[in-house]
Structures are given as structure tokens and as C-alpha cells.
Amino acid sequence: MKAFFRIFPLFAVALIPLSSSQAFAQAWVYAGTNLGQQSKIHLAAADFKPVGADPQTPVLKAVFDATLFNDLSNAGIFDMVSKSLAPQAMPGSPQEINLPQWAAPPANAGMVAFGALSVNNGRIIVYGWLDSTAGGSNPQVLGKQYNEEANQQMARTIAHRFADAIIQQLGGIAGIAETKIYFVSSRTGSKEIWVMDYDGENQHPVTHLGSISLYPRISPDNSRIAFESLDRDGWSVRMYSMDLGRMVSFPGGGVGGSNLDPSWTSDGYRIAFSSARTGISEIWVANGDGGNMHRVTSLPGPNVQPCWNPKTNAQIAFAGGRTGEPQIYIMDQDGSNIQRMTDSGYAVSPSWSPNGQLLTFSWNRAYGPGAPGGQDIYVFNIATMQWLQVTHGSGNNDYPTWSPDGRHIVFQRAYGHRTDIWSMLADGTQQQQLTHSGDNMEPDWSWK
């Protein structure tokens, strides 16, 4: 009997691990590879249901529907169900939608974005849902609600926000629908810095300096634009504050009369630019307020157009002319470990992708394969030294920059007598012209 009481606690302790393994009824899911995965999600964007009798509702709803559909098609990760194939229904809430109708042919939608839009007292109110048609008792993936001032710009902004939420949920990377593109336009008579939404809407000027202002680069926190401007002292790197709405000083940015091509690090602390104050263009680095300005390269030949590696902020890509024609080089931020990327031809305007793995630049090669002979945009994998030509046969393409999601490139195309801003997916598909009047060049995609 005594032995029992001695041994029983040990026995009880031994039983504990056996009992705790299934103590809580956790839900288990079993999944695996080779289980029928489609690479592009079939997404249907239904027209939103108008609610209420406000006269502004139809106008704003049309803008909203068009913007939402465009944003989702531009994302590059969806196979959008064409509106002509989608059911004509306008479900305004999850109770109203008939999901099997959307999943059936000809729509074959895997996901449906729908909702209701109403205007009330000068406010636009949008309820948006994203439902999956894959069955199950809880098809809702997203539910969002927006309330903003009732005008077309805010209708577009709400559509951008809803599209971003869908892209983030289904694509894993934050969407770019609310980002801006800064560019140079000569529409007002002089070359000034302009800004537009990423889809080409809402184009308006930022600077009004009256001289020549080029190469805008917005800071990562959207507070300042660094650009190169010509004044009586020559070319200098100057700063415009978006918060204050006026120019702010960048001391040392005008020394020597030939300071060009600013580029921000992804943390916004430092700027690299090219300066010829020592006689020939070299790459210089300074803090965002102009402090600690120092030279980084001492190579022969002009070295221009620096671009930081946004992933590490420890490398700079630039165009160097020491072999005669400009070639793309990358180096560490202190000027060491210079590696040459292009082997011949005329290569300029490097831009580093957000994941730090790819470069895009403008290159005029003289040999195949590909379609050589023109100034075209190339995407270059730094690790494998392989390149992909993404534009061909359409004018002179230059000044490419990456979007913050790493999926899109915006660039300048000079075709015929016009120079315009174009954007495309990074594999060369879905090329679209964003500007249609005046001469527009040297775009820069904002960081967020």
C-alpha cells in the first residue's frame, strides 16, 4: 500500500504528456504541393451598387468603378474577369451576392470584389467586400468601409485604397495604387517638376522656378524632392519641401557648377549625386541636410547617375565613362569593390529594384540576341549577370525607375516628335502611356 502511494505520483506525472497533446481541439489543415494551383487569381470587380438619390452618386460611382478595375488590372497579379463576361448584378452586401453565379462560366471568377457606394451630405461612403467563390460557409476575405469628402479625387482615392487592400491580401506585397510619379514637364513653357498619380491622373506642377529643373527624386518619407536645377551659378542639386510648399536649402549642392543626378537612400538619411567640382564628374555622398559631403569615387572618366541599393543602402550603381562610352558599374558606398555590369554599348540611368536583386537601365547594344540597335530598357539580374530586354522597336527609351512593389517600371519614351512617360510591368507587358500633352521626361516613382 505504501509502495502504491510512492509510485502513484510518478505514474500520474507520466500520464501528463499523453493527455495534453490533444487537450485543445486545434483545427488542423493539411495542404501540399501539386494540389492544383493557378498562378493568376481570377478576380471579378463588380460595379458597386449605388445607394440613395444624391445627384453626385452616378458620377462618382462611375469614377470609382473605373478606377478600381484599372488598379486591379494594373497590379499584374490578377487575371481580371472582363466586365462583359461578368454577371450584370450589382450586389451591395454579402447577403445580396450570389457567388455560384460568379463562379460559373463565362465569368469563372475565383474572387469577387463588390459593395455599395452612397453620397450623403457631401460625404461619399463606400462599403467594400472581397469574397471567395471557392465555397465554404465563410467566403468573406475582406470587408472595408470608407468615408471621405465627396469629389472625384476622393472617389479615386477610395478606389485606390480598396484596390491596395485587395492586392496586399492576395498578392502579399503592398499595392502601389496610392503612389505618385514625379516627372519633368515643359507644358508651362519651362521645364518644371510635376507630379501625377501612378495611373496618370491628377497631373499638376510642383515647382515654379522658371528655369530648367530636371531629375526629380522624392525622399522616402514624401517630405522633400531633390532635383537638379540650372541657375546663374550653373547646375546645382536643390531641395523642395512638400510639407512647406517651398524651396529649402541644401548647402554645398551648387559648388562647382555641375552637380546633377541626386539619389536618396531608402532610409532618407543620405543623398548621392554627381559633382564635377574637382574637375570631372565624380560621385559624392552627403547627408540629407547637406552635412558630411564627401567624394566617393576617384575613377577616371565622368561618373554620373548614382543609385543606391535600397535593400542594403550600402552599394551604389552608377554610369561610368572610363572606357569611353558609359557603362553601368556597382560599387560599395565607400567607393571600393567596383564591378562592371555591362560589357559594351551605351548604358545609362541605372535604377536598383526594391528587393536589391535587379537593376534596370537604358542600354544601346550593338549586337544580338534580342533586338539591338535602339536605346531600350533592360532588366539585369546582378547575381547571374543575365539581362532581359523589355522594350524594343519603339523609340528611344530612357530613365527607368522601379515601383516600390518591384513589379512595375516607369520610363521615358521619345517617339516621333513626342516625349512621354510610360509605365509597364517589369517583364515588359502592359505598357501604357501616362502623359499625352507637352514634353514629359525623367520620371521617378515615389516610395509609398
Partner 1 sequence: MEILLEGGEQLERELAPEPVVAPAAGSLLLHGVLAAVLVFYGVIGGLFHRQIWGNPGQGGAMQVNLVSSPLPLPNDQPVNQNVLSTETPSHAPAPPAPKATQKIDEKAIPILGRPQKPQKETVHRTPPHQPTPTRPNVVPYGEQAGSWMQRSIPQTGTNGPTTVNNGNFGTMFPWYVQQINDRMAQNWYKSSVDSSTPRGSRVYLTFTINRDGSVANGRIAQTSGSPTLDTTCMQALQRVGAFPPLPSAYNQSTLMVSYYCEY
Binding to partner 1 (CB under 8 A) within 309-338 occurs at none
Q: Is residue 34 part of the contact set for partner 1 (CB under 8 A)?
A: yes
Should residue 171 be labelled a site residue for partner 1 when binding is judged by CB under 8 A? yes
Say whether residue 429 binds partner 1 (CB under 8 A): yes
H/E stretch holding 156? helix 152-171
Out of 173, 209, 230, 414, name the contact with partner 1 by CB under 8 A: 173
Is 17 an interacting residue with respect to partner 1 (CB under 8 A)?
no
Q: How far is CA 295 from CA 88, 186, 286, 335, 339, in A?
A: 63, 33, 9, 9, 18
> Phi/psi at 167 (nearest 5 deg)?
-65, -40
Three cell numbers written together for 304: 554620373
Q: Is 405 one of the binding residues for partner 1 (CB under 8 A)?
A: yes
State which residue, 88 or 138, has the beta carbon closest to partner 1.
138
- Residue closer to partner 1 (CB basis): 176 or 260: 176
Stretch that binds partner 1, among 60-68, 189-197, 341-349, 384-392 (CB under 8 A): 384-392
Under the binding rule (CB under 8 A), the answer on residue 406 touching partner 1 is yes
* CA separation for the pair 226, 239 (Å, rounded): 5
Q: Is 170 exposed, middle or buried (0-12, 13-18, 19+ CB in 10 A)?
A: buried
Distance of alpha carbon 313 from alpha carbon 265, whole angstroms: 6
The least CB distance from residue 342 to partner 1, in Å, is 14
Backbone angles phi, psi at 230, to 5 degrees: -100, 120
> 448 Cβ partners below 8 Å, 6+ apart?
174, 178, 179, 220, 222, 404
Kindly tell me which of 79 and 231 has the beta carbon lying closer to partner 1: 79
> What does residue 153 show for φ and ψ, rounded to 5 degrees?
-65, -40
For position 30 contacting partner 1 by CB under 8 A, the verdict is yes
Rounded CA-CA distance 395/414 in Å is 5
316 contacts 272 by C-beta, under 8 angstroms: yes
Size of the site for partner 1 (CB under 8 A): 62
The reply to whether 355 sits near partner 1 by the rule CB under 8 A is yes
76: contact with partner 1 by CB under 8 A: yes
* Residue list 100-159, contact with partner 1 (CB under 8 A): 111, 132, 134-141
Nearer to partner 1, 235 or 422 (CB): 422
Least distance CB 371 / partner 1 (angstroms): 5
For position 402 contacting partner 1 by CB under 8 A, the verdict is: no
Q: How far is the CB of 287 from partner 1 (least distance, A)?
A: 30
For the bound state, the minimum distance from the C-beta of residue 97 to partner 1, rounded and expressed in Å, comes to: 15
Nearest distance, CB of residue 78 and partner 1, angstroms: 9
Radius of gyration of the chain (CA): 27
Residue 15, judged by CB atoms within 10 A of its CB (0-12, 13-18, 19+), counts as exposed
Grouping H, G, I as helix, E, B as strand and the rest as coil, residue 39 is coil
Q: Which residues bind partner 1 (CB under 8 A)?
A: 25-37, 39-40, 76-77, 111, 132, 134-141, 169-173, 355, 357-358, 367-372, 379, 381-384, 386-390, 392, 405-407, 425-431
